[in-house]
Amino acid sequence: MSNFLGKLQRLLSLNINTIRFNFNYFPFKQAIKFPVLLSSNVLLLKMSGKLVLSEPLYYGKIKIGFGQVGIFDQRLSRSVWEVKGIVECRGSADIGHGSKISVGENGRLVLGNNFVISAEATIIAFDNITIGDDCLLSWDVLMMDTDFHHIKDLDNKILNSPAPVILGNKIWAGARCLILKGSEIPSNSVVAAGSTVSKKLTGENQVFAGIPAKAVKSEIVWER
């Protein structure tokens, strides 16, 4: 009886965003578990792509638009979901309020297990972005694998084509980091606040900082 009442209470607490999202992406037997919870402040701009979740599916495995970071007004902090391509979640994910996810028609975004965005971050995948397990993006992080507009040489050759972004496991990207196309960040790393990554970084257990980011401290371990 208590199990039934618990399920009924969960169902009554769901908003239209959560119901619409789950039944758009999953067959009935999966959707009714409501593996993805959305706050009422999520703008579902595009849901024409595909969302792939790892097993097992359970209530609230993925959360979008929740959390609270004191420097933002959570009530007015609006998240955006604009997905035309593929999003794959390989475990749990908590995408904090005000965060924006944009995946183009030919884009793919892979999120590892225990992925967290604190708030107000943006991920734009028009090629391929792969993020490992236990990664944390702080507020105002911008990650994108495209420049959108082409830059060409005098022979009309494109110089800035989209390029994959790869993050290893257990990476903390500090507030207002900029992670651009072609970036690769090794596991067990910290990218200091305000840094810009635009190429492959090497060496685990390091702090990377600056514009462009480079190793400034080694043999580190970070904790949430």
Q: Is residue 144 part of a domain?
A: yes
Q: Is residue 203 part of a domain?
A: yes
Q: Which residue has the higher pLDDT, 77 or 2?
A: 77
The pLDDT tens digits of the residues spanning 189-211 come to 999 999 999 999 999 999 999 99
Q: Is residue 71 part of a domain?
A: yes
Q: Is residue 175 part of a domain?
A: yes
Q: Is residue 223 part of a domain?
A: no
Question: What tokens were used for 41?
Answer: 């402040």
On the question of pLDDT at 216 being above 80, the answer is yes
On the question of pLDDT at 1 being above 90, the answer is no
The pLDDT tens digits of the residues spanning 129-180 come to 999 999 999 999 999 999 988 888 898 988 888 999 999 999 999 999 999 9
User: What's residue 8's pLDDT?
Assistant: 42
The pLDDT tens digits of the residues spanning 45-101 come to 999 999 999 999 999 999 999 988 888 888 888 999 999 999 999 999 999 999 999
Q: Which residue has the higher pLDDT, 103 or 6?
A: 103
d(CA 165, CA 162): 10
User: What's residue 224's pLDDT?
Assistant: 81
Q: Is residue 111 part of a domain?
A: yes
DSSP state of 26: S
Q: Which domain holds residue 203?
A: 2-218
User: What's residue 11's pLDDT?
Assistant: 52
On the question of pLDDT at 2 being above 60, the answer is no
Residue 28's CATH number: 2.160.10.10
pTM over 0.85: yes
Q: Is residue 8 part of a domain?
A: yes
On the question of pLDDT at 5 being above 80, the answer is no
Q: Is residue 224 part of a domain?
A: no
User: What's residue 9's pLDDT?
Assistant: 47
Q: Is the dihedral of CA 209, 210, 211, 213 positive or negative?
A: negative
Query: Left if phi > 0, otherwise alpha if psi is -120 to 50, otherwise beta: which for 87?
Result: beta
User: What's residue 114's pLDDT?
Assistant: 98
Q: How many domains, in total, are found in the chain?
A: 1
User: What's residue 193's pLDDT?
Assistant: 98
Residues 6+ apart with CB under 8 A from 123: 99, 100, 101, 102, 109, 129, 143, 144
